[in-house]
Amino acid sequence: MVLLFYGAITGKSIEKMFMAGVFPGVFVGLGLMAFSFFYARKMNVPTESGTKFFLGIWTSLKKSLWAIMLILIIFFGILGIPGVMDGIFTATEASAVAVVFALFVGFFVYKQLKIKDLPGIFAGTAKTTASLTFLISAAGLFGWVLSMGFVPTAITDGLLNGAEVIISPLKDVIPEAQYWAVRKYVVIIALNLALLMIGMFVDAGPAIIILAPIVFPIGQTLGMNDFHFGVMVVTNLVIGLVTPPVGTTLFVASGVGNVKLASLVPFVMRFIWIMVFVQILIMFFPPITTWLPSFIK
């Protein structure tokens, strides 16, 4: 959803934004799964009796087959298969295909949906769509006001000038090309720290709507790939969702787990370093976010 907001506000391809976020999301997921596995073994967390490891994986895989098929339809429908076929629908069309597939599974596979449920589902969807459209429209107006006041330019110049002041002692020590590269990464690190701090206190959705018109020119000034920069901004704000002191999703997790927030925080900190590590990879290794979008025309 946050990638959707960013792409819509900055006018960038939603399909490419989604593809740019695939590898970062996979890396975060695998990292959290691996840490959970080894931590559970270390703490002797009880497992389901009579369930072997690989048998349990196979059983879970079979149960989630229809959900995995939905992901594959969306992914390969948009991206296609490199060297074999091009994508056959856009991100907007993919959402329609996903709805039809989900209705089929809900009615005929899981048999949990009823005809009488559809009016309520459609009404809820209309309300959500209307609220999102209003937010994006307001963000567009907000971005226009900021640009008229040259606010993004002022912030960009401030970051660049501040970085130059910090690294000015290196100007006569290292080659010019390396000097400008160092300045670029000082700006990127400062921006990431600022976004992480904002994400700790503000939900990622509203934050990206407010910040996208401000930070987007910074990426262009630094010569960064638009999709690389967009994913870097979005993932930073999402990390903030699980970072104390506020971390909005921590309140949801404490409610679901029926534990106090204070007792939850120390355990959360053990997982955050994995997401921070992936964020560092995104910052300094752009192909993580640029390789998949390169296959979309």
- Six token digits for residue 35: 């840490």
Residue pLDDT, tens place only, 79-120? 777 667 777 887 778 888 888 998 998 888 888 888 888 899
Residue pLDDT, tens place only, 184-203? 888 888 888 888 888 888 77
In sequence order, the 6+-apart residues with CB closer than 8 A to the CB of 107 are 113
- Six token digits for residue 201: 């206190």
pLDDT at 82: 63
Strand locations in the chain (E): 80-81, 85-86
Region 147-162 average pLDDT: 79
Which letter, b or e, does each residue of 269-288 get, where b requires 16 or more Cβ atoms within 10 Å of its Cβ?
eebeebbeebbeebbeebeb
Average predicted confidence (pLDDT) for the chain: 83
pLDDT at 232: 93
**Residue that has been written with the tokens 């995995």 in this structure:** 68
Long-range contacts (CB closer than 8 Å, 24 or more residues apart) made by 21-30 = 21/231, 21/234, 21/235, 21/289, 22/75, 22/292, 23/288, 23/289, 23/291, 23/292, 24/231, 24/235, 24/278, 24/281, 24/282, 24/288, 24/289, 27/278, 27/281, 27/288, 28/235, 28/274, 28/275, 28/278
What total of structural domains would you count in the chain?
Answer: 1
- Which of 258 and 50 is assigned the larger pLDDT? 258
pLDDT at 50: 57
Residue pLDDT, tens place only, 214-268? 888 888 888 889 999 999 999 988 888 888 777 777 877 887 778 887 788 888 8
CA distance 101 to 166: 54
CA distance 57 to 269: 27
pTM score, whole prediction: 0.78
**Model confidence band, residue 206 (pLDDT cutoffs 50, 70, 90):** confident
Residue pLDDT, tens place only, 115-149? 888 899 889 889 888 887 887 777 777 777 877 88
Residue ranges making up the domain that contains 137:
2-42+51-295
Q: What would you measure as the largest C-alpha separation in the chain, in angstroms?
A: 74
